[in-house]
């Protein structure tokens, strides 16, 4: 099935009640449940930390699709940093406008964040990918997207941390001690 048809089906699915997030990767529609309160709290605290560090014109936004139809990828990161002007579009955000994509790992679909998005975000050319995992109390910052040894793009730099660390995320600093772990 071509991307335009897959995209149309994804649109239909996202219009269903309680559809949650609908994404496309590798010719497959990925549907996720609506995030938990803890998940949303981590996204909120991340945004609150980034906002005062961003230069005029850049914003941290907890919503919005990022799409490159030529690659067949539609993603909805938990948080993006991009120019405010790039938000003035009827279309999804273009990946070239995104400086940071952040994901908060969900308890039920962690492979999507660790595997598929680890492949999709460097393919989209997103310079920095922040992966926050409240299941384990860990963070990973990936950067420097480029060709991997086997050809497909990948992040060539990775820094890992644990909740409680202050981590560099591109030009910004994030204090992960503000992030709660999921409740058991």
Is 183 among the domain residues?
no
Does the global pTM surpass 0.75? yes
CA 89 to chain centre: 19
Structure-block tokens of residue 110: 């962690």
C-alpha triplet 138, 19, 112: angle, nearest 5° = 30
Is 26 among the domain residues?
no
Q: Which residues contact 51 (CB under 8 A, 6 or more apart)?
A: 59, 60
Is 131 among the domain residues?
yes
- CB-facing half-sphere around the CA of 124: CA atoms within 13 A: 33
pLDDT of residue 37: 84
Is 24 among the domain residues?
no
pLDDT digits (tens, 9 = 90+) for 102-151: 999 988 777 778 888 999 999 999 999 999 999 999 999 999 999 888 88
What is the Cα–Cα distance from 27 to 64, expressed in whole angstroms? 20
pLDDT of residue 17: 81
Structure-block tokens of residue 69: 């139809």
- 118: CATH: 3.90.1570.10
Structure-block tokens of residue 168: 């560099």
Is the CB of residue 48 less than 8 Å from the CB of residue 174?
Answer: no
Splitting the chain (184 residues) into consecutive groups of 10 residues, what average pLDDT does each group show? 86 80 80 77 97 97 93 94 96 96 87 87 97 97 91 93 98 98 87
Q: How many domains does the chain have?
A: 1
pLDDT of residue 33: 65
Domain holding 122, by residue range, is 35-178
pLDDT of residue 110: 74
């Amino acid at each position: 099935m071509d991307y335009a048809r897959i995209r149309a089906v994804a649109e239909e699915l996202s219009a269903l009640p309680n559809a949650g997030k609908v994404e496309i990767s590798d010719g497959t529609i990925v549907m996720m449940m609506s995030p938990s309160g803890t998940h949303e709290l981590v996204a909120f605290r991340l945004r609150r930390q980034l906002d005062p560090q961003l230069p005029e014109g850049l914003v941290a936004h907890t919503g919005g699709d990022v799409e490159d139809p030529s690659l067949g990828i539609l993603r909805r990161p938990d948080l993006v940093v991009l120019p405010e002007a790039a938000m003035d579009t009827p279309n999804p955000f273009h990946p070239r406008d995104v400086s940071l994509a952040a994901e908060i790992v969900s308890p039920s679909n962690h492979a999507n964040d660790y595997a598929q998005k680890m492949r999709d975000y460097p393919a989209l050319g997103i310079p920095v990918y922040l992966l926050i995992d409240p299941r384990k109390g860990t963070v990973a910052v990936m950067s420097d997207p480029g060709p991997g040894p086997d050809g497909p793009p990948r992040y060539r730099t990775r820094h890992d941390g644990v909740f409680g660390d202050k981590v560099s995320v591109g030009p910004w600093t994030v204090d992960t001690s503000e992030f709660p772990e999921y409740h058991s």
